[in-house]
């Protein structure tokens, strides 16, 4: 594998060079806060839909899910189902209404009919928390991928590469803003879906284009699991706790997408609510097709590579797709697929970073600290860029700590935080007339606090060989994903805070309802 390191690295370097040129070109039109945060609202629905799929199909979707299916069969595919079904919630409940009522960030929507400063501060806090967990997953994927790609097996070497990925991510965001980041995501989505399609057809061709034959080969090459890879329960059916863990995971995946800040922010890059709807339809089609590919890729990795080889690879479960590429097309296909996976990581972390930095600059700096008096062009965007550097540095450190974890699982934790801290507050704000500032603060801080606390004291962090800190033991909460508890608690706290406060502003809700449903007075595309 080391003999191919130059080839693999060269393919990735070519992608970086091309995308940097695109980002530099995009930066020429980045002059205002609207340009930097929302790309001037100039992307069409199909363009934004492809970008959304590029943002959403993260390293977890490609590396983590393929690996989970290769090792756990049917139970691994449940990630794909959860991630896809989640888009129906986003389409039916959030996309159009959010585009009409917001401007740049989730905080714009939540603070529309409430006290600006405390609600914006809370929204920014939850955005930063979700972005941090999501960034952990992507950076951990970068470490494992490089271990396989360049033959760097030492933790120090992998840490250096994670730092390089983080530096590139910061560069994309600083130079190109949302416009540059969007074009990177479009390029990456096309490459990723095309690469997955080629591998899917290649795998099926090896088995006479017969899925049944492929599944039989996967069973034959999985002696430890046998036919269990084709039925539920291999990963989540052994005990009552594991079944509850699966239920918790499923709830977090289905409800989490509609609360992910970097996905919600993409709805502001289109000129109208109609284009926001088109964006989601395009995204659903592309993401659905891709997740069908992961089914073939996962079972193909089980059949052609084998679960034991995947477990013993430097990147463990995340190595399934690259190892399958090598088994199919040798070092050239491995280099291309690994470069696409790298591109996936870069595009997603760039989207996360610009979302988190925009939330801090627009919600905390401009509206909490400066009370709305910050200069639109200079001060706010400068603060966003500084914040991007800080977030990038934190992501690098976190990625080094999380290196080696299953990134699909780490992303599921981010979904749980998003579904706990953000979704209840968004839904209450859009649909419940009595909802008020106290309810929003109780829901956001309460859901976030409960979710993060349960994660810290869960088997995901300590107590098991697969935990983040395997030698520690403070897993007092039995479920690895806290969604089953934290999401209902957040809905309850939002209701309780509202009822106990009694504060109401029916006129503001009526204005918000009209704007959300009709698009009257919503933000338009900026003219150049």
pLDDT at 37: 67
The Cα diameter of the chain in Å comes to: 69
Q: Of the candidates 487, 461, 489, which has an alpha carbon nearest to the alpha carbon of residue 474?
A: 461
Measured distance CA(446)–CA(490) in Å, rounded: 6
pLDDT of residue 148: 64
| pLDDT exceeds cutoff 80 at 492 | yes
**Cβ atoms of 76 and 298 closer than 8 Å:** yes
Q: 5: how many CB neighbours lie within 10 A of its CB?
A: 16
Q: Are 208 and 364 in contact (CB under 8 A)?
A: no
What is the DSSP code (8-state) at residue 229? G
CA distances from 250 to 55, 67, 298 (A): 21, 18, 19
Percent of the chain with pLDDT over 70: 88
Say how far residue 248 (Cα) sits from the centre of its chain. 18
CA 158/CA 400 separation, integer angstroms: 8
Is residue 429 within 8 A of residue 440, CB to CB? The reply is yes
Q: Which residue has the tokens 């109780």?
A: 442
Which pLDDT does position 527 carry in this prediction?
44
Q: CA–CA distance from 49 to each of 81, 103, 527 (Å)?
A: 19, 19, 22
Q: Looking at residue 39, what is its pLDDT?
A: 63
Tell me what the mean pLDDT of segment 295-304 comes to: 92
Burial class (CB in 10 A: 0-12, 13-18, 19+), 212: exposed
Q: pLDDT per residue over 193-238, tens digit each?
A: 998 999 999 999 999 999 899 999 888 888 877 788 888 877 776 6
**Mean pLDDT of all residues in the chain?**
81
Are the beta carbons of 235 and 72 closer than 8 angstroms?
yes
Query: pLDDT at residue 516 above 90?
Result: no
End-to-end CA distance of the chain: 50
Res 450: pLDDT: 93
DSSP 47-88: HHHHHHHHHHS-HIIIIIHHHHHHHHTHHHHHHHHHHHHHHH
286 HSE (CA, 13 A, CB side)? 26
Q: Which two structure tokens, joined as six digits, stand for 494?
A: 């939002």
**Residue pair 86/254 in contact by the 8 Å Cβ criterion:** yes
pLDDT in tens, 381-403: 788 888 888 888 888 888 887 77
Q: Predicted confidence band at 144 (pLDDT cuts at 50, 70, 90)?
A: low
Q: Provide the angle, in degrees to the nearest 10, between the axes of the packed helices 155-206 and 116-149.
A: 80
Region 6-14: mean pLDDT is 75
CA distance 282 to 52: 9
Alpha carbon distance 13, 441 (integer Å) = 45
For residue 1, the model assigns a pLDDT of: 44
- pLDDT tens-digit map of 420-475: 988 999 889 888 888 889 999 999 999 999 998 998 888 877 777 777 777 788 88
- Nearest Cα to Cα of residue 342 among 486, 98, 88, 146: 146
Between CA 379 and CA 387 the distance in angstroms is 12
Instruction: Tell me what pLDDT residue 528 has.
Output: 44
Whether 263 and 52 have beta carbons less than 8 Å apart is answered as yes
HEC sequence for 139-170: HHHHHHHHHHHCCCCCHHHHHHHHHHHHHHHH
**Residue from 435, 427, 473, 479 nearest 455 by CA:** 479
Mean pLDDT within 316-341: 83
Q: pTM here?
A: 0.82
Look at residue 300 in the predicted model and tell me its pLDDT: 92
Q: Is the pLDDT of residue 152 over 90?
A: no
Q: Which of 276, 254, 211, 268 is nearest to 33 (CA)?
A: 268
Asked whether the predicted pLDDT for residue 406 surpasses 70, the reply is no
457 φ, ψ (degrees, to nearest 5): -100, 25
| Token output for 308 | 């034991």
Which residue has tokens 């390191």? 5
For 111-123, write each residue's pLDDT tens digit: 778 888 898 889 8
């Amino acid at each position: 594998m080391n003999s191919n390191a130059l080839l693999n690295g060269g393919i990735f370097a070519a992608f970086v060079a091309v995308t940097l040129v695109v980002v530099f070109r995009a930066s020429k039109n980045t002059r205002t806060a609207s340009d930097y945060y929302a790309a001037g609202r100039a992307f069409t629905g199909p363009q934004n839909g492809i970008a959304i799929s590029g943002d959403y199909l993260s390293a977890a979707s490609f590396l983590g899910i393929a690996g989970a299916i290769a090792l756990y069969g049917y139970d691994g595919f449940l990630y794909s189902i959860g991630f896809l079904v989640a888009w129906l919630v986003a389409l039916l409940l959030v996309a159009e209404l959010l585009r009409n009522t917001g401007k740049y960030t989730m905080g714009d929507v939540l603070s529309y009919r409430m006290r600006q400063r405390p609600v914006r501060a809370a929204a920014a806090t939850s955005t930063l928390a979700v972005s941090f967990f999501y960034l952990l997953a992507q950076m951990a994927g970068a470490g494992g991928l490089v271990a396989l790609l360049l033959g760097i097996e030492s933790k120090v070497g992998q840490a250096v590469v994670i730092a390089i990925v983080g530096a590139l991510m910061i560069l994309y965001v600083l130079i190109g803003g949302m416009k540059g980041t969007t074009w990177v995501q479009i390029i990456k989505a096309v490459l990723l879906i095309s690469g997955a399609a080629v591998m899917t057809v290649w795998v099926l061709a090896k088995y006479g284009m017969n899925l049944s034959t492929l599944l039989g080969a996967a069973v034959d090459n999985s002696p430890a699991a046998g036919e269990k890879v084709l039925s539920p329960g291999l990963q989540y059916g052994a005990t009552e706790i594991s079944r509850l863990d699966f239920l918790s995971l499923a709830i977090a995946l289905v409800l989490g997408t509609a609360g992910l800040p970097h996905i919600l922010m993409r709805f502001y890059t289109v000129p109208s609510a109609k284009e926001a709807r088109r964006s989601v339809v395009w995204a659903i089609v592309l993401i659905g097709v891709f997740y069908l590919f992961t089914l073939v890729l996962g079972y193909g990795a089980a059949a052609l590579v084998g679960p034991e080889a995947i477990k013993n690879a430097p990147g463990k479960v995340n190595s399934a797709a690259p190892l399958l590429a090598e088994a199919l097309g040798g070092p050239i296909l491995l280099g291309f697929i690994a470069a696409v996976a790298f591109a996936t990581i870069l595009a997603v972390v760039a989207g996360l970073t610009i979302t988190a930095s925009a939330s801090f600059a627009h919600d905390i700096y401009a509206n909490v600290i400066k009370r709305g008096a910050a200069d639109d062009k200079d001060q706010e965007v400068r603060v966003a860029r500084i914040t991007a550097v800080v977030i990038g540095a934190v992501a690098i450190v976190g990625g080094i700590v999380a290196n080696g974890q299953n990134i699909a699982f780490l992303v599921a934790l981010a979904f749980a935080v998003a579904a706990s801290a953000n979704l209840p507050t968004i839904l209450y704000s859009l649909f419940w007339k009595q909802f008020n500032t106290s309810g929003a603060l109780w829901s956001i801080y309460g859901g976030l606090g409960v979710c993060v606390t349960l994660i810290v004291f869960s088997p995901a962090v300590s107590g098991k060989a697969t935990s983040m800190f395997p030698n520690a033991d403070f897993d007092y909460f039995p479920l690895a994903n806290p969604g089953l508890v934290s999401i209902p608690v957040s809905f309850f706290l939002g209701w309780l805070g509202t009822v106990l406060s009694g504060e109401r502003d029916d006129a503001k809700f009526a204005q918000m309802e009209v704007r959300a449903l009709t698009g009257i007075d919503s933000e338009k595309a900026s003219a150049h």
